[in-house]
A and B are shown apart, each in its own frame.
Chain A
Amino acid sequence: MDAAWVLVLAVVALGWAVPLLWAIAVSVHSPDEPISAANLWWGSHPTLANYTQAFQIAPFAQYYVNTIVIVFGILAVQLVTISLAGYAFARYRFRGENLLFFVILLQLMVPSSALIVPNYSTIRQLHLFDTLVAVMLPYFGSAFGVFLMRQTFKTVPRDLDDAARVDGANWFQTLRHVYIPPARPAMIAFALSSISFHWNDFLWPLVVTNSAASRPLTVGLAVFTQLGEIGAQWPLVTAGTVIVVGPLLLLFLVFQRQFIDSFLHSGLK
């Protein structure tokens, strides 16, 4: 790698890191001290007061547990449903196959916010209002995931499938041992998009929950971002943001090697 490339990469990396670094710096800026062009970072006497205040404003520990249960609960169910459906569409021929696949794809075009009222109605009739299951239920299926898995499974050579059958594998064993392993990169890519979407989802959880016991982090963060009435409290807002994104960021930094490895080592061996 030559010097010019390193320079370009350094600039890109810096552009990505500055907002985060600024957020961390300002989150320890004293709330009594104005932020100005000359005093843009941590100020003259850094303090953890913003974090104390942020934790007073919302029960973040509870919200954390809820967010993790919601995000990974959805993902676990999704991985099962999308691989089963993707497998069926990729390898089985049945009546109405194309129509059914078309209907599933059609769902990609309906924004989830348009479904809030019917979904709420269903949740209410199931008596699930204000539960974690209510937040997760509408997302147990994923049209995008089904499409992704179908396309990925279609790239697996038929010969491997046939060989497995000859060896006496049933459909589940074939799926488990022949189709899933080469699809791991696609599944990880899907998992990342699912996690980031549901980690950030705000309106649906807000609508179907009433108590802290079933609410995710974004609802807690809203307490900081909705302070429209008075001017922005940057130190407080950034402290709340660091609390919310910090662990996810840390998780990514720790596991980034595994993520990247899994992408690099994709394909058939």
Chain B
Amino acid sequence: MESARWRRLLVASATTALVVTLSACGAGATATPSSVALTFYYPVAVPGPITQLIDGYISKFEQQNPGITVKPVLSGGYPDTLTKIETTIKGGGTPPDVAVMLSTDLYSLVDSNAIQPLDSQIAAAGGDTYLSDFYPAFLANSRYQGHIWSLPFQRSTPVLFYNKDMFTAAGLDPSTGPANYQEMVSDAQKLTKPDGSTYGIEISSDGIPYWLFQSFVIGGGSNVVGSAPNQVNFDTPQAIQALQDFADLSAKYHVMPSGILQWANMPNDFVAGKAAMIWHSSGSLANILKQAKFNVGVSYTVGENGYGAPTGGGNLYMLKGIPASHQAAAWKFIQFMSSTDTQADWSINTGYIAARQSSYQTAAMKAYIAKTPQAAVAPAGLQYAKAELAAHDNAQIQKFLGDAVQAVLTGKSTPSAALATAQQQATQLLSTFKN
């Protein structure tokens, strides 16, 4: 008796599952044959109504392109997006058509055969003429093996924020920030209060310590990025000098608190008056302006020879293994998301730097900059920006360099020894890659 009832229940639930499955399949099949349904994965890395903004762009895109629909999928943070896509590919599923991932994920994505190049589409859109409107620094992490694999979407760069009121009080010129490392040190010495209530400068070394360290190296006229993705230049004399400069700020000049400074706390310390200058992402500008009760200046991060910074942030990629019929639509969507107007609006609402120079000529952007002149500083500084650290097995490589930076800042190692170790670890890991 008992078992018969169970069996009936089992059959009933199996039937329900089948019906649900079939109706789900049916829903896909009844769409008009000529229409293309794209899927778009995007991570969130800044606050604000990101989902509403993305939904708004998509409905505008769908209006302009009848026959194409786009389903936006919020995919957590950058690492989550990568995991979600890798799982889909390994598990035999269909990846999204377009995704926003870190520009530095390029080699890992090519190595796992996850993305397809955009050369033919870019050539059809005008080739170099089409690309020339993008800031060259934002394309520095897009090229590999003679192909272009991604277009910039949500990009940023470290900048130097300074407290203009404190500059004036210390007898410094509030109209410009320091032009090189030596100036930054002497400014910071004048700004540091002996009672410890204000430090001249704070530069974070947690989270992604290699990123701000790259500013020191690039400002010293060099970079840690190798000429191929199986090479890095961690232990050059310029890099060793740069790490010495970083450590000297607290150990020698006492203008920065010692130890590892938290990335998340820097803007707070700055607006609370605990630090007269900080290095932080250009994306922090809106929040800093909202909270600061003083005049905020924006300038560039510096090294021995002058200004210098890496780029950061996410690019638009087209995934491999999507239906051939989706490719044209996916390219249209990539073009739309990286277009002059979308980039201008995205920049105004999020604080990212617009990827295109023409975005800064739009009426909306001009009105925004008239109101917030500090927002024009970061794009103007992109001429000093170089590629962000990227290589095969990138998370590991970035960690090797980050660990070296932290070891020196906590006094556990010297710049030359720590960087030699990092170089050796990286060389060993990268030796398995041919190019």
Q: Mark B314-356, 1 if CB is under 8 A from A, else 0.
A: 0000000000000000000000000000000000000100000
- Which residues of A lie under 8 Å from residue B46 when comparing CB positions? 227, 229-230
> Contacts of A116 on B, CB cut-off 8 Å?
83, 87
Residues A231 and B47 in contact, CB atoms below 8 Å apart:
no
Q: Which residues of B contact A236 (CB under 8 A)?
A: 47
Q: Does A256 contact B (CB under 8 A)?
A: no
Selected interface stretch from B67-75, B223-231, B235-243, B361-369: B67-75
**Which of the segments A13-21, A101-109, A138-146, A204-212 contacts the partner chain?**
A204-212
**0 or 1 for each of B269-283: is its CB under 8 Å from A? (1 = yes):** 001111000001101
A235 CB to nearest chain B CB (Å) = 10
Contact A231 B266 (CB under 8 A): yes
A-side contacts of B48, CB under 8 Å: 57
CA of A39 to CA of B273, assembled, Å: 13
B43 near A226: Cβ-Cβ < 8 Å? yes
Asked whether A56 and B52 contact (CB < 8 A) given A120-B88, A129-B93, the answer is yes
Judge whether B76 and A222 touch: CB under 8 Å: yes
Q: How far is the CA of A231 from the CA of B208 in the complex (A)?
A: 13
- Stretch among B125-133, B246-254, B284-292 lining the A interface: B284-292
One digit per residue, 1 when the CB lies within 8 angstroms of any chain A CB and 0 when it does not, for chain B 45-71 equals: 111111110000000000000000001
Query: In the docked arrangement, what's the CA distance between A226 and B100, Å?
Result: 15
Cβ of A223 < 8 Å from any Cβ of B? yes
CB distance from B50 to the nearest CB of A (A): 7
A230 to B90, CA, bound (A): 33
CB of B2 within 8 A of chain A?
yes
Residues of A with C-beta under 8 A to B77: 222, 225-226, 228
Pick the contact of B91 from A31, A56, A120, A225 — CB < 8 Å? A120
CA distance in complex: A116, B85 (Å): 12
Chain A residues with CB under 8 A of B263: 228, 231
Inter-chain contact B47/A227, CB cutoff 8 Å: yes
From 39 to 75 in chain A, residues with beta carbon under 8 angstroms from any chain B beta carbon are: 39, 53, 56-58
A210 with B207: CB separation less than 8 A: no
Chain B 75-114 interface residues, beta-carbon cutoff 8 Å to A: 75-78, 80, 83-84, 87-88, 90-93
Minimum distance in angstroms from B399 CB to a CB of chain A: 15
Q: Taking the nearest CB of chain B, how far is it from the CB of A115, in angstroms?
A: 11
A222 to B273, CA, bound (A): 30
B310 within 8 A of A: no
Residues of B within 8 A of A211 (CB): 71, 73
A269 contacts across to B, CB distance below 8 A: none
Interface assignment of A162: CB less than 8 Å from any CB of chain B: no
Q: Which of A34, A224, A225, A232 has the largest count of B CB atoms less than 10 A from its CB? A: A34
A230-B71 Cα distance, complex, nearest whole Å: 27
- C-alpha spacing A232/B51, complex, angstroms: 19
Indicate whether A229 sits within 8 Å of B283 (C-beta atoms), given known contacts A57-B50, A223-B50, A223-B74: yes
Q: Which residues of B contact A129 (CB under 8 A)?
A: 93
Classify chain B's interface size.
35 or more
- Give Cα A232–Cα B207 distance, bound, in whole angstroms: 12
Q: B45–A227 contact, CB under 8 A?
A: yes
The answer to whether the Cβ of B176 comes within 8 Å of any Cβ in the partner chain is no
Partner of A232, one of B71, B156, B265, B313: B265
Is A192 engaged at the interface, CB distance under 8 Å to the other chain? no
- Report chain A residues within 8 Å CB of B273: 36
Residues of B within 8 A of A225 (CB): 77
B24 part of interface (Cβ distance < 8 Å): yes
Q: Which of A232-256 contact B (CB under 8 A)?
A: 232-234, 236
Question: Which of B76, B91, B268 interacts with A34 by CB under 8 Å?
Answer: B268
Alpha-carbon gap, A39 to B293, bound state (A):
14
Assess whether B169 is interfacial by the CB under 8 Å rule.
no
- Closest Cβ neighbor of A204 among chain B residues: B87
Is A5 part of the contact surface with B, judged by Cβ < 8 Å?
A: no
Tell whether A230 pairs with B284 under 8 Å between CB atoms, given A34-B272, A203-B83. Answer: yes
**Cβ-based interface call for B220 (8 A):** no
CB-defined contacts of A31 to chain B, threshold 8 Å? 290-291
Q: In the complex, how many angstroms separate the beta carbon of B360 from the nearest chain A beta carbon?
A: 21
> A57 CA to B207 CA in the complex, in Å?
24
Across-interface contacts of A203 in B (CB, < 8 A)? 80, 83
* Residue of A39, A120, A172, A228 touching B207 (CB-CB under 8 A): A228
Does A121 make an interface contact (CB < 8 A)? yes
B272 to chain A, nearest CB (A): 4
Residues of A within 8 A of B50 (CB): 57, 223
Q: Are B274 and A36 in contact (CB under 8 A)?
A: yes
B25, CB-defined interface residue at 8 Å: yes
Query: A128, A207, A223, A229: which has the most chain B beta carbons within 10 Å?
Result: A229
A206 to B25: give the CA distance in the assembly, Å: 22
B421 proximity list for chain A (CB < 8 A): none
A184-233 with Cβ < 8 A to chain B? 202-203, 206-207, 210-211, 219, 222-233
| Residues of A with C-beta under 8 A to B83 | 116, 203, 207
Across the interface, do A206 and B21 meet the contact criterion of CB distance under 8 Å?
A: no
Question: Is B429 among interface residues, defined by CB-CB distance under 8 A?
Answer: no
B80 x A222 contact (CB < 8 A): yes
Q: List 16 other contacts, CB 8 Å, given A207-B88, A228-B207, A229-B312.
A: A36-B274, A37-B272, A57-B47, A117-B91, A118-B91, A120-B90, A128-B21, A202-B76, A206-B84, A226-B43, A226-B44, A226-B76, A228-B45, A229-B284, A231-B268, A233-B47
| 5 CB-based A-B contacts, threshold 8 Å | A32-B291, A35-B268, A120-B87, A231-B268, A236-B47
Chain B: residues with CB nearer than 8 A to chain A?
2, 21, 24-25, 39, 43-52, 71, 73-78, 80, 83-84, 87-88, 90-93, 156, 207-208, 263-268, 271-274, 280-281, 283-284, 287, 290-292, 312-313, 351
Which 6 residue pairs of A and B lie closest in terms of their CB atoms, listed nearest first?
Answer: A226-B77, A231-B267, A232-B264, A36-B272, A120-B91, A121-B91
